[in-house]
C-alpha cells in the first residue's frame, strides 16, 4: 500500500479494518427468509448489538445458532479468511472448543447476498451458539488463568500450518503497526495521558521494533480477550469455548498473547500484573517462547491496552454523537495503564513459572 505518512497509513488501515463505515442493517424478515431458503432453519430471531456485522441469535426448537452478516464495505475475501481459519481448526484440531460453522443446504460454509448500497456483496454465515460464561464476567483464579493461557497456546499450535491469501491484511488492532500509530496522540488533550502514552511508544520503539522482523510469526486468533473466551468455573478444563475470529491475521505470536494480557492488566491497581502473568505461565507450559521475545511481550501487553484507549479516543472524535459513550468506556483503560506504569515491570524468567 502506497502511503507516505503515518497519518495516511492510519486512515488506510482504519478503512480496511472497517472502523470508518456506518453500519447497514439487514431487515430481520430478510434474514429469516434467507435462513429458511438457504439453511432450512426457522425460529425466533433476536438482534445482538455489535460494532460491524449484523449479528443475531436464532432459536430453532432446542437448537440455538449465531447468525452473522458482514457489512457491505467489507471485502468478502477477508470474511473468507475467518471462515477458512475456522474450517481448518475443525479439520485439524476437533478437540479444541472452537465455534463451528453450519453449512448451507448446498454445503457451503458461507453464502453471498447482493448489497446494492455497498461496494461488496455481504457474507452470510451461521454458527452454533456456544453456551457458557464469558471470562469477562468471572473472577478467575491464577490456576484458571493459566488454563486460559494454555488454551491460547494450543490454538496457536493448531494454526501454525494455516495460511490464506489475505492473512497479511491490514488490521488496526495488529501491534506490528503500533509504532506507526503515534499520530493518534494528536487526539489527546490531557497532558498526563499523552506523557504516559509517549513513554509506552518509546519503549515499544526501543524494545520491540528492532525485533519485528525476527519475532516468531504466524496466523493467530488476534482477539483472545475475556469477551471471546467462554468458561465453566466448575469444569476441569475451564475454557469451554473460543469465539469471534474477526481479527484473524498473520503477526508475531507474542502479540496474540498481548491481547489477553492487556485485558487483565491493572485490574488490581495494587498489583497490576497479578492477573496477566499466569496467562503467560500457562501459555509457556504448552509452547515455550524464545528468551529474546520475553521482554518484548511485557512492552507489547501495555501497548495493546494503550492502543485500545487511543482508538476509542480517535473514534470519539470521528463520531461526536457517540463521544460521551465511547470516552466513558475508555476511562478504565487509562486508569489501568497509569497503575501499570507506576509499578515495576516484571522480568519474565527464561525458566518457566518463575515470572512472579
- Per residue in 97-129, pLDDT (tens digit) is 999 999 999 999 999 999 887 788 999 999 999
Ranges 129-133, 218-222, 313-317: which has the least confidence: 313-317
| Cβ partners under 8 Å of residue 262, min gap 6 | 276, 301, 302, 304, 305, 308
> Which whole number is the average pLDDT over 140-149?
97
Per-residue pLDDT at 47 exceeds 70: yes
CATH class given for the domain over 6-129: alpha beta
CATH number of 134-342: 1.10.10.10, 3.90.1200.10, 3.30.70.1230, 2.40.50.140?
A: 3.90.1200.10
Q: What is the mean pLDDT of the chain?
A: 92
Give residue 285's pLDDT band: very low, low, confident or very high (50, 70, 90). Answer: very high
Per-residue pLDDT at 254 exceeds 90: yes
Residues in the chain: 356
Does the pTM surpass 0.95? The reply is no
Per-residue pLDDT at 19 exceeds 90: no
pLDDT number for residue 21: 67
> Which whole number is the average pLDDT over 26-44?
96
pLDDT number for residue 100: 97
In three-state secondary structure terms, 251 is strand
> Which whole number is the average pLDDT over 23-35?
91
Per-residue pLDDT at 45 exceeds 80: yes
Instruction: Show me where the domains of the chain are located.
Output: 6-129, 134-342
> Which whole number is the average pLDDT over 290-302?
95
In three-state secondary structure terms, 249 is strand
pLDDT number for residue 250: 98
Per-residue pLDDT at 1 exceeds 60: no
Per-residue pLDDT at 309 exceeds 80: yes
pLDDT number for residue 205: 98
> Which whole number is the average pLDDT over 163-172?
96
Pinpoint the alpha helices (H) of 103-240: 142-158, 191-207
pLDDT number for residue 233: 93
> Which whole number is the average pLDDT over 22-41?
92
| Top-confidence residue, 187 or 195 | 195
Q: What is the dihedral of CA 166, 167, 170, 171, to 10 degrees?
A: 130
| CA distances to 65, 115, 182, 306 from 199, in Å | 45, 45, 11, 11
> Which whole number is the average pLDDT over 62-83?
94
Distance separating alpha carbons of residues 321 and 247, to the nearest angstrom: 26
pLDDT number for residue 34: 97
Per-residue pLDDT at 353 exceeds 50: no
Q: 86, 243 in Cβ contact below 8 A?
A: no
In three-state secondary structure terms, 242 is strand
pLDDT number for residue 331: 78
Give residue 322's pLDDT band: very low, low, confident or very high (50, 70, 90). Answer: low
Per-residue pLDDT at 263 exceeds 80: yes
Amino acid at each position: 500500500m502506497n502511503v507516505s505518512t503515518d497519518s495516511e497509513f492510519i486512515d488506510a488501515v482504519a478503512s480496511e479494518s472497517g472502523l470508518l463505515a456506518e453500519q447497514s442493517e439487514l431487515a430481520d424478515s430478510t434474514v429469516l427468509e434467507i435462513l429458511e431458503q438457504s439453511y432450512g432453519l426457522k425460529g425466533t430471531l433476536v438482534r445482538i448489538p455489535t460494532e460491524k456485522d449484523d449479528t443475531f441469535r436464532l432459536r430453532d426448537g432446542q437448537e440455538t445458532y449465531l447468525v452473522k452478516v458482514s457489512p457491505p464495505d467489507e471485502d468478502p475475501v477477508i470474511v473468507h479468511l475467518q471462515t477458512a481459519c475456522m474450517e481448518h481448526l475443525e479439520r485439524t484440531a476437533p478437540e479444541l472448543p472452537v465455534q463451528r460453522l453450519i453449512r448451507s443446504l448446498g454445503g457451503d460454509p458461507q453464502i453471498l447476498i447482493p448489497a446494492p448500497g455497498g461496494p461488496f456483496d455481504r457474507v452470510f454465515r451461521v454458527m452454533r451458539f456456544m453456551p457458557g460464561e464469558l471470562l469477562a464476567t468471572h473472577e478467575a483464579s491464577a490456576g484458571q488463568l493459566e488454563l486460559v493461557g494454555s488454551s491460547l497456546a494450543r490454538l496457536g499450535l493448531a494454526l501454525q500450518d494455516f495460511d490464506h491469501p489475505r492473512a497479511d491484511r491490514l488490521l488496526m488492532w495488529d501491534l506490528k503497526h503500533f509504532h506507526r500509530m503515534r499520530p493518534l496522540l494528536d487526539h489527546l488533550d490531557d497532558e498526563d495521558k499523552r506523557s504516559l502514552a509517549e513513554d509506552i511508544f518509546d519503549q515499544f520503539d526501543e524494545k520491540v521494533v528492532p525485533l519485528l522482523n525476527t519475532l516468531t510469526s504466524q496466523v493467530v486468533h488476534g482477539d483472545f480477550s475475556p469477551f471471546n473466551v467462554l468458561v465453566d468455573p466448575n469444569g476441569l478444563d475451564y475454557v469451554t469455548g473460543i469465539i469471534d475470529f474477526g481479527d484473524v491475521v498473520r503477526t508475531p505470536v507474542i502479540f496474540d498473547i498481548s491481547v489477553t494480557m492487556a485485558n487483565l492488566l491493572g485490574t488490581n491497581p495494587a498489583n497490576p500484573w497479578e492477573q496477566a502473568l499466569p496467562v503467560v505461565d500457562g501459555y509457556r507450559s504448552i509452547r515455550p517462547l524464545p528468551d529474546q521475545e520475553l521482554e518484548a511481550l511485557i512492552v507489547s501487553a501495555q501497548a495493546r491496552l494503550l492502543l485500545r484507549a487511543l482508538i476509542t479516543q480517535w473514534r470519539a472524535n470521528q463520531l461526536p454523537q457517540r463521544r460521551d459513550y465511547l470516552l466513558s468506556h475508555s476511562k478504565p483503560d487509562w486508569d489501568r495503564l497509569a497503575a501499570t506504569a507506576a509499578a515495576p515491570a516484571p522480568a519474565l524468567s527464561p525458566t518457566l513459572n518463575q515470572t512472579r
